[in-house]
Amino acid sequence: MLLLNMTKRSIYCNDTKETVTSYTKYLKTVHWHNLRVKKLLKNPHCEYKDCDSIDDLNIHHKTYKRLGHEKLSDLTTLCKKHHVKIHKELRQKRKLKRKSKRKPYLVGNKVLKLTPYRLYKLIKKNKLNNKYEKITKLKTN
């Protein structure tokens, strides 16, 4: 079993005695290789709806919560086409989530839609440039 050590940012495997410090390196471990084989034996075809492809199969993490000691149910078998599609959809989802966090602010005489992070950066930039634009949160409804 691989254990993720968040303080040292490393993943250690008791079985294979491997220690890795990044996700990219994790994907090259014997532990991950064995886990992939186990998943492929259990689900030897793409699990995407209406696809049963057995070509070019990838193992996809549905969650990274148990990275290093994943349950087989944390993983799903996908053909390359659907693996790419799922990651594209996830990127799109994250983009929409970020967009929904934007709120309107009156900055000087301009209305800007900002995420809390962008607002923080703007205030910091103002301070650095030693200028103080008036920033007012606008009401939304």
> Is residue 57 involved in binding Zn ion (CB under 5 A)?
no
> Is residue 79 involved in binding Zn ion (CB under 5 A)?
yes
DSSP string, the chain: -EEEETTTTEEEETTT--EESSHHHHTTSHHHHHHHHHHHHH--S--STT----SSEEEEES--TTTTS--GGGEEEEEHHHHHHHHHHHHHHHHHHHHHT-EEEEETTEEEEE-HHHHHHHHHHHHHTT----EEEPP--
Which region, judged by CB under 5 A, interacts with Zn ion, from 29-37, 58-66, 71-79, 97-105?
71-79
Among 46, 57, 59, 114, binds Zn ion (CB under 5 A): 46
> Is residue 82 involved in binding Zn ion (CB under 5 A)?
yes
Nearer to Zn ion, 31 or 82 (CB): 82
Which region, judged by CB under 5 A, interacts with Zn ion, from 7-15, 19-27, 53-61, 113-121?
53-61
> Is residue 51 involved in binding Zn ion (CB under 5 A)?
yes
> Is residue 53 involved in binding Zn ion (CB under 5 A)?
yes
Q: Applying CB under 5 A, which residues contact Zn ion?
A: 46, 48, 51, 53, 79, 82
